[in-house]
Amino acid sequence: MNVLEMQNIRKSFGDVSVLRDISLTVKKGEVVAIIGPSGSGKSTLLRCATTLEKIDGGTIAICGRALASNVNGKEIFAGKKDLVEIRSMFGLVFQNFHLFPHFSVRRNITESLIHVRKVPKAEANAVADRLLAKMGLSEKADAYPCQLSGGQQQRVSIARALAINPEILFFDEPTSALDPELTGEILKVIRELAEEKMTMVIVTHEMNFAREVADRVIFMADGVIIEEGPAFDLINNPREERTRAFLAGY
């Protein structure tokens, strides 16, 4: 089963074409890493998949539910009700955490459960406490984001994304704001999720991590997919010269 299907995606900002006829599918339980130079369109692709940007053309479906479709050359987007349901199928972890600074750690996790999904408060708190235990942060439940290290804040962000029990998790450079020691904390968490067969799409510059954890790697440059294949094979023995040039810097 394909959890994510993106076909012939186009996206421009003004006169700048950022995504040019991109197609991508992700199967249930698969971990896909997207690599490439800055400005290649990696983060924009994730933003389109997660409704933060509207595509100019193409189709997107999550778990078979159409987020965007093309009918007779016109883009049709999911209506408000469908959009709420589709958004409940995925979680997104940003590079800069995006926690609410005036909410406790527990409330950062429970807020959307209580107010968007109408989960009873006691049940939402139980979900938060279970996930904080999983992240090794049980003692931080009543702390505020400013009292946490960057690695701890990112683990809270991952817990928040997991709280809705998503079908797929998207990570946009989840370690780029962290120093090397804290990066290791986050990569360990993602590695454990991969072992649990969590479906994930990860934009990353961590090549060793991508090679070890991802099932498949996609290399993007200039708004197109240059090459894709099994993670170990692509990173160790890329076919395309553009991919080899990029990986030579790592």
Three-state SS string over 18-37 comes to EEEEEEEEEECCCEEEEECC
Average pLDDT over every residue of 51-69: 95
Please give the structure tokens belonging to residue 194.
Answer: 């991969």
Confidence band for 232, pLDDT divided at 50, 70 and 90: very high
Give the pLDDT of residue 240. Answer: 96
Say yes or no to pLDDT of 58 above 90.
yes
Q: Which amino acid appears at position 83 of this protein?
A: L
Residues 203 and 43 sit within 8 Å (Cβ to Cβ): yes
Q: How confident is the model at residue 77 (pLDDT cuts 50, 70, 90)?
A: very high
Given a cut of 80, whether residue 18 has pLDDT beyond it is: yes
Q: What is the DSSP letter of 65?
A: E
201 and 188 in contact (C-beta within 8 Å)?
no
Report how far residue 40's alpha carbon sits from residue 173's, in angstroms, rounded to the nearest whole number: 14
Predicted confidence (pLDDT) per residue in 84-114, tens digit: 999 999 999 988 888 999 999 999 999 999 9
Q: How far is CA 172 from CA 65, 97, 165, in A?
A: 23, 10, 19
pLDDT at residue number 177: 77
84: CB partners within 8 A, 6+ apart: 116
d(CA 228, CA 126): 40
Angle at the Cα of 237 from the Cα atoms of 231 and 241, rounded to 5 degrees: 110
